[in-house]
Structure 1
Amino acid sequence: MNHAEGRCDLHTHTLASDGMQSPADNVRLAYEKGLSAVAITDHDTVVGIPEATEEGERCGVTVVPGVEISTRAGGKDIHVLGYYVNCTNEEFLKRLADLRNTREERNVKMIARLQELGVQITLEEVIAGLGRELRPDETVGRPHMADVMVKKGYAQDMRDAFNRYLGEDAPAYVSVPRISPQEACNWIREAGGAPVLAHPGIYGDDRLVREILEQAQPAGIEVFHSDHGKAEEERYQAMADEYGLIVTAGSDFHGARQGVIFHGDIGSRSVPVSVLDQLKRGV
């Protein structure tokens, strides 16, 4: 483990949203991988950050407070990462709570759609699958549904569940009204943070990516991501240069389900810690 190299993974999820590890676990894993810094970027919540920060202070890993906000543009779900947001900003916390309510509404509709398709699972089963009480500022997501589906034999593994039922083009997917990427970027800035467009390669539409960059004007773009190949990395690096954007990297770590790490392992994508200064300036 060489912590002197100063690398950071800027995209990880915890039990606070749809990850499998506690926030403290993510920080310990980052330490074991030799990272100097790790961001906690749960979906529409910042509840995991205090625990992660405490663990970071204990083991000498810098924890970047972050969030991943779900938005909609061009008929697609678009995710916007926010770094160095003020986690006690009341207006921002209220806005995140509204987004979680939208997620819960989607969950109810997707479970109903799954039942219509013959997949007999309930939201109660999905929540029970957490093995603990669901806190008020936490939500369940599609990976939790997939877990139950695999356990009950409706899918072979997580990817199978997403491919056949839960993915954006699959029959059980439900789209609910969401804010625009521009609104998300504004909210993040108003909470003192730097907005970054997450995993542009996943959207499969570079024209839309350019539109978002021009309209929402994020501070950065996630060039290096577990689902990006070399061609995507080169394309989005060029786009970052063209638009003068901060280049970030993230594993999108969610933990292992059925022995398979979803997206990528912590530290599998990283950038130098010097990027953190750029994000703090938001330029």
Structure 2
Amino acid sequence: MALMNVLADLHTHTTASDGMQSPADNVRLAKEAGLAAIAITDHDTVAGVAEALLEGERLNITVVPGVEVSTVAEGTDIHILGYYTNNNDEKWLSRLSSLRGLRDQRNEMIITKLNELGVVLSMDDVIAAAHGESSKEELQAAEVSIGRPHIAAALIQKGFVQNMKEAFDRYLAAGAVAYVNPPRLTPFEAIDWIREAGGTSVIAHPGLYNNDSLVEELVRYGVQGIEVFHSDHGPEEEQRYGQLAAEFNLIVTGGSDFHGSRQGVVFHGEVGSRTVNASVLKQLQPSG
């Protein structure tokens, strides 16, 4: 690619899930940051990829089609990134739809718990906070994924908390009073699903799990890459997972995990704040 910069941010979210910017906005931010490439990796949906690809063509930015699959292992949320899946594969799209159904079920369980705690909130409040006047049916038709940040936004709008941090600390984070984690897909199954859809699987932000034995188990199972560089990884994590990648010949990826800004606070980092060389795209692309 004949661009001065050859860096790629391989982990960003859009309004197709719990990001604040449109897919096209993320591509424009990549252009402003001087990146060569950006991945769109929304939670359990590829609904934002097509728009981003169009904007990428317009701005001469390479858009990597991706997804972040939500799974649970040993009671912990584990996320598996998938790149270059065949997004015309009906089985793959059906599987992602089933995950959004589980996410919807989890959201309803959180709302029920909040109500039991005297926090009067409805799913309509959450949808209004997330996507304005859109109905639940419209969001489902658009394959938009609703998550805990949207519930947090509704808690702020209703005055139950002051900010996102308080919403998660008091109610939504693991161990908080309204946290629920129903049985869901395992990360091993997610790796299989991504492979069967023709894509490449990568462990997202392994430093957030506090479970390196599980991370290594996933590596031995057959995950193809590991997100060494992430906004919530420090130098120690980067070194540790870089060594793991070298030991097992894994693809090394990195990304900001950009979600946009809420109340002036950027989650987790700005577009381009964590990157890898865009040459890694060749490793991520399926061969043949």
Query: What range describes the TM-score normalised by the shorter chain of this pair?
Result: over 0.9
Please report how far the alpha carbon of residue 153 of structure 1 lies from its aligned counterpart in structure 2 after TM superposition: 2.1
- Alpha-carbon distance in 2 for matches of 1:147, 1:178: 24
Counting matched residue pairs gives: 280
1:150 to 128, 148, 156: 156
Letter in 1 for 2:7: R
Letter in 1 for 2:153: D
Other-structure match for 1:199: 205
What TM-score results when the alignment is normalised by the length of structure 2?
A: 0.94
Other-structure match for 2:280: 275
1:166 to 166, 172, 175: 172
Distance change in 2, residues 1:281/1:93 (3 Å): closer
Letter in 1 for 2:103: R
Other-structure match for 1:50: 50
What per-residue deviation string (whole Å, max 9, x for no partner) do you get for residues 71-108 of structure 1? 11122110000000111111000000110100000000
1:247 to 228, 244, 252: 252
8 Å contact kept, 2:43–2:70: yes
Q: Is 1:27 paired with 2:27?
A: yes
- Alpha-carbon distance in 2 for matches of 1:267, 1:163: 27
Please report how far the alpha carbon of residue 281 of structure 1 lies from its aligned counterpart in structure 2 after TM superposition: 3.9
Letter in 2 for 1:160: E
Letter in 1 for 2:265: V
Please report how far the alpha carbon of residue 135 of structure 1 lies from its aligned counterpart in structure 2 after TM superposition: 4.3
Other-structure match for 1:114: 114
Other-structure match for 1:131: 132
Q: What is the correspondence of 1:223-234 to structure 2 with a 5 Å cutoff?
A: 223-234=228-239
Please report how far the alpha carbon of residue 158 of structure 1 lies from its aligned counterpart in structure 2 after TM superposition: 1.0
What TM-score results when the alignment is normalised by the length of structure 1?
A: 0.96
Letter in 1 for 2:28: R
User: More deviation in 18-27 or 162-171?
Assistant: 162-171
What per-residue deviation string (whole Å, max 9, x for no partner) do you get for residues 222-261 of structure 1? 0001111111111111111111100000111111001100
2:224 to 216, 219, 224: 219
2:271 to 255, 260, 266: 266
8 Å contact kept, 2:110–2:179: yes
Please report how far the alpha carbon of residue 132 of structure 1 lies from its aligned counterpart in structure 2 after TM superposition: 4.1
Please report how far the alpha carbon of residue 22 of structure 1 lies from its aligned counterpart in structure 2 after TM superposition: 0.6
SS of 1:126's partner is helix
Runs of 4+ in 1 over 3 A off after TM superposition: none
8 Å contact kept, 2:260–2:270: yes
8 Å contact kept, 2:227–2:252: yes
Runs of 5+ in structure 2 lacking a partner? none
Other-structure match for 2:61: 61
Letter in 2 for 1:70: S
CA RMSD of aligned residues (A): 1.3
Q: What is the correspondence of 1:88-107 to structure 2 with a 5 Å cutoff?
A: 88-107=88-107
SS of 1:173's partner is coil
Runs of 5+ in structure 1 lacking a partner? none
Please report how far the alpha carbon of residue 265 of structure 1 lies from its aligned counterpart in structure 2 after TM superposition: 0.7
Please report how far the alpha carbon of residue 40 of structure 1 lies from its aligned counterpart in structure 2 after TM superposition: 0.3
